[in-house]
Structure 1
Amino acid sequence: MANTKSAIKAARKSLRLHDRNQGVKTRLKTLHKKLETAVKSGDAASSKAAAVAYTSAVDKAVKSGVVHRNVAARAKSHVAKIVFAK
């Protein structure tokens, strides 16, 4: 258990941020699964829409500090590779 007042506050803050981060990461995983199914279905319009939604969510996660920018760049590169491949 935290001993000082600042440590108690830091513990509360840590739990709050952990919950927020988990929600964002779960949403990213869900959007990625939707993207994968859209690509497998072969429908170009739904694949592109899913890709846009996923990349937007990844960028927002980077902005809020949940995901590192290099991880996001790698994920977006992967999306471009599978969706826009000819």
Structure 2
Amino acid sequence: MQYIATFYSHFGAIRFKNEAHPSVTDIQLMPVPRDLSSSCGTGIRFQAPDDYTYSGDESGEVEQIVRHTENGYEQIYSST
């Protein structure tokens, strides 16, 4: 399944890419769709199992993670 992560900074996006869990594959930096966020503008698109969960990040850089569905986006993690 395809997911998109948004971040508060470009550094957070790079860090997520470099430290991704082994179940996260096909990681690509991308511009963030404006309907998801306007924070730093850099996001990551990635593939992960359908039951992928994200428990949070100690750096506080991840803004949100959404799953791409037929009907749009489903949020699976939010920092707020």
Query: If the TM-score is normalised by the length of the shorter chain, which range does it land in?
Result: under 0.3
> Structure 1 or 2: larger helix share?
1
TM-score normalised by length of structure 1: 0.24
Point out which structure has higher relative CO (alpha carbons under 8 A, 6+ apart): 2
Which has the greater radius of gyration? 1
Per residue, is there more strand in 1 or in 2?
A: 2
Structure 2 length as normaliser, TM-score?
Answer: 0.25
